[in-house]
């Protein structure tokens, strides 16, 4: 069959690649436009730094209260233990209080397609609904750019750091 070139420049026939794939472990990692991993499936249990950054842009606080994002833990909606994916669509920030309610208190949560969160009491009754913080896409993109700029301006030796102007 057709010859395919590897990243190292080695040419391999397709038949050999197919044979290698029979015994291969394949890891799917979804990347954003800048190469930041956002969808890692079952490859990792904990959220990647890119996923945490993306969630910080979407949520400034716990998905259920006003606890700052920096004090939150990243929670799998469908638990990792029962094949939940470590993908943005399955992750939310929860403060310690809400995280304990879900894990130890018998509460459950559902995340809708629009990222509206529904919190259910242990008896199954809908307790509260939390819509996605009302931000426009433009606001989310601006915040993402500011975070990226802040990271690039605060790294390196002090004499090489640029100042952010308001």
Given a cut of 90, whether residue 40 has pLDDT beyond it is no
Category of 137 on φ-ψ map: left (φ > 0), alpha (ψ -120 to 50) or beta: alpha
Give the three-class secondary structure for 25: coil
- The pLDDT of residue 7 is 66
CA dist 84 and 154 (Å) reads 35
Q: Are 76 and 90 in contact (CB under 8 A)?
A: yes
- The pLDDT of residue 109 is 93
Count, residues in the chain: 166
- The pLDDT of residue 8 is 73
Q: pLDDT tens, 137-154? A: 555 556 666 655 655 444
List of residues 6+ apart from 5 with CB closer than 8 A: 11, 12
Give the three-class secondary structure for 109: strand
Q: pLDDT tens, 57-79? A: 888 899 999 999 999 999 999 98
Mean pLDDT of 90-116: 91
Q: Which two tokens stand for residue 12?
A: 């391999």
Element (H, E) at 21: helix 14-22
- The pLDDT of residue 20 is 66
> Between residues 113 and 136, which one has the greater pLDDT?
113
Q: In what order do the strands lie in the sheet with 117-120?
A: 108-111, 117-120, 126-130
Mean pLDDT of 24-42: 57
Q: Are 119 and 112 in contact (CB under 8 A)?
A: no
- The pLDDT of residue 11 is 82
Q: Considering Cα of 25, then 26, then 29, then 33, what sign does the dihedral take?
A: positive
What are the sequence ranges of the domains in the chain? Answer: 27-136
Given a cut of 50, whether residue 115 has pLDDT beyond it is yes
Mean pLDDT of 66-95: 91
Mean pLDDT of 104-110: 92
Mean pLDDT taken over the chain:
75
């Amino acid at each position: 069959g057709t010859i395919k070139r590897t990243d190292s420049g080695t040419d391999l026939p397709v038949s050999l690649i197919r044979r290698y794939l029979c015994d291969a472990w394949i890891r799917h990692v979804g990347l954003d436009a800048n190469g930041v991993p956002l969808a890692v499936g079952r490859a990792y249990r904990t959220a990647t730094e890119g996923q945490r950054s993306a969630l910080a842009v979407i949520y400034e606080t716990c998905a259920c209260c006003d606890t700052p994002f920096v004090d939150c833990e990243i929670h799998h909606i469908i638990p990792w233990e029962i094949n939940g994916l470590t993908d943005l669509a399955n992750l939310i920030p929860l403060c310690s209080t809400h995280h304990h309610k879900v894990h130890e208190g018998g509460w459950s949560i559902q995340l809708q397609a629009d990222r509206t969160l529904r919190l259910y009491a242990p008896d199954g009754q809908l307790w509260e609904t939390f819509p996605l913080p009302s931000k426009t896409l433009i606001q989310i993109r601006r915040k993402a750019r500011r975070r990226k700029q802040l990271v690039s301006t605060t790294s390196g030796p002090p004499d090489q750091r640029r100042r952010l102007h308001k």
